[in-house]
């Protein structure tokens, strides 16, 4: 296994309910380290660009509206096998299918307002990290 970095977003449903720390604790307990982090309000254009891979999906407009509905916390997580490990800690996209103890099982409100985003592969992780962070902002 190699040390990897992945892009994580704590979504507006979670920041609204003041769950940022509880979510970060799950990442840290799993051995993931926060090596960059900022809280921000996404613009419509930023949310559309970030989720452009989903632009043909029926939920795209609603997803973008949700992602700009309040602040997000964007993070780079680092650790052994970080991309897959973070997906494990997050749980399934649909919280009703997420395993016990996962972020989405414990905190998600719905399949859309599901508390966290995590990159799904090395190439998307690299692209998504550079969407939000410069190399100078990532301190491992
Ligand atoms: P992921 O976040 O688990 O990788 P994706 O399929 O990449 O899931 O979808 C991106 C985001 O779009 C999800 O996290 C969720 O917020 C939203 N989403 C996915 N599927 C649906 C759906 O069927 N209805 C509403 N929103 C959805
Ligand atoms: Mg995805």
54 annotated active-site: no
pLDDT at 106 over 90: yes
The predicted model gives 16-42 an average pLDDT of 98
Q: What is the pTM of this model?
A: 0.98
59 CB within 6 A, ligand 1:
yes
- Candidate list 5, 87, 104, 117, residue with the active-site label: 117
Where does residue 116 fall: left (phi above 0), alpha (psi -120 to 50 degrees), or beta otherwise? beta
pLDDT at 54 over 80: yes
| 53 CA from centroid of ligand 1 (Å) | 11
pLDDT of residue 35: 98
| 136 CA from centroid of ligand 1 (Å) | 30
Average pLDDT, the chain: 98
pLDDT at 81 over 80: yes
| 132 CA from centroid of ligand 1 (Å) | 20
111 CB within 6 A, ligand 1:
yes
Q: How confident is the model at residue 95 (pLDDT cuts 50, 70, 90)?
A: very high
Share of the chain above pLDDT 90, in %: 99
pLDDT of residue 44: 98
pLDDT at 1 over 90: no
11 CB within 6 A, ligand 1:
no
Q: Using alpha carbons, select from 112, 139, 106, 97 the residue that is nearest to residue 25.
A: 106
Cα separation values, 19 from 43, 62, 122, Å: 22, 22, 27
Distance of CA 130 to the CA centre of its chain: 14
Give per-residue pLDDT as tens, 60-76. Answer: 999 999 999 999 999 99
Q: How confident is the model at residue 12 (pLDDT cuts 50, 70, 90)?
A: very high
Can you tell me the distance from the alpha carbon of 50 to that of 75, in angstroms, rounded to the nearest whole number? 14
């Amino acid at each position: 296994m190699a040390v990897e970095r992945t892009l994580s977003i704590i979504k507006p449903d979670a920041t609204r309910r003041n769950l940022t720390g509880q979510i970060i604790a799950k990442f840290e307990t799993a051995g993931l380290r926060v090596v960059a982090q900022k809280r921000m309000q996404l613009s419509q254009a930023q949310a559309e660009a970030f989720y452009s891979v989903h632009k043909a999906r029926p939920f795209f407009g609603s997803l973008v509206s949700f992602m700009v509905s309040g602040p997000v916390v964007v993070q780079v997580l680092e650790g052994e096998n970080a991309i897959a490990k973070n997906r494990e800690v997050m749980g399934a996209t649909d919280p009703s299918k997420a395993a016990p103890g996962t972020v989405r099982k414990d905190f998600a409100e719905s399949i859309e307002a599901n508390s966290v985003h995590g990159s799904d592969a090395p190439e998307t992780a690299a692209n998504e990290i550079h969407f939000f962070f410069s190399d100078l902002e990532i301190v491992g």
